[in-house]
Amino acid sequence: MNTIEVALVVQNCLAGEYEKNLESTCHFISLAIEKGARIIVFPEMNLTGYVANDDILSVARSVTEDMLDLFKGMAENSKSTILVGLAERTWDERIYASHFVFNADGSFDIYRKIHISPFEKKYFSAGNKISIFNSHDLIFGIQLCYDAHFPELSLAIALKQADVIFIPHASPLGSSQKKYDSWIRHLRARAFDNGIYIAALNQTGDNGKGLFFPGVCLLIGPDGHVIYKSIDDSERVHLIRIEKTVLNKIRSHPMKYFLPNRRIDLFE
């Protein structure tokens, strides 16, 4: 499959309102499927909402069989892959910023945020696995928000032959334009240096706990150029396209694909 349709869902996610967020998520999944999306990506912690204070103790949720069955069924029935996030409470009472990947075959995987910001370290535990996923002949990695500031992680994902990195955010404060300007400084470099697509999206609006999230989403091509952007606080399904032929063109060019020429002998 040379072209893969992907939906980036900019969503208002109410902190601690799991049922409302779940209803909204299911609604947007239906819209994305109608638009022909094969992969559907939601913001960081979209099911629970995001906070980084003591409220997280009530906002975080354990994963239930009902939740797993719901999304596994939706993915399998639609033959799509669905990426949703939550503040996940595990059996040992740790809390992770987790993103679940529900595959079209009914299976699922989990990515847990590796890099925890200084403001989050009191509340969240760090994941310890760099995961790679495959859907509809598209190989992808996931980073969550603060993860994107560490170029080594993008390099590690690119070296595993990923085509795209999805970067769901729960990044409050500032206007949509200021958030876009902030993201573009480092995300274009991640794409260009590694010859990889970067697709990023944020929550949007008031989360009901004193935080406002500026609505932003974007797609950057493997040449570092912005292919698609939305700087808008409204909830919306954004349909983007990942072109394998574009990746192949960049990666077959001796002066546009840099990874084969790394001096790894100097870095070990």
Q: In what order do the strands lie in the sheet with 132-135?
A: 132-135, 138-142, 164-169, 197-202, 216-220, 226-231
Residue numbers in the chain where pLDDT is lower than 50: none
pLDDT given at position 267: 81
Domain ranges of the chain: 3-266
pLDDT tens digits for 175-224?
999 999 999 999 999 999 999 999 999 999 999 999 999 999 999 999 99
Q: Which residues contact 72 (CB under 8 A, 6 or more apart)?
A: 102, 106, 107, 108
pLDDT tens digits for 77-106?
999 999 999 999 999 999 999 999 999 999
Give dist(CA 187, CA 226) in Å, integer.
10
pLDDT given at position 80: 97
Answer yes or no: are the C-beta atoms of 7 and 32 closer than 8 Å: yes
Q: Which residues contact 107 (CB under 8 A, 6 or more apart)?
A: 72
As given in the structure block, the two tokens for residue 181 are: 């300007």
> Kind of pairing, strands 236-243 and 3-10?
antiparallel
What element of type H or E holds 133?
Answer: strand 132-135
Answer yes or no: are the C-beta atoms of 136 and 39 closer than 8 Å: yes
- Given 3.30.1360.70, 3.40.50.11820, 3.40.30.10, 3.60.110.10, which CATH number is that of 3-266? 3.60.110.10
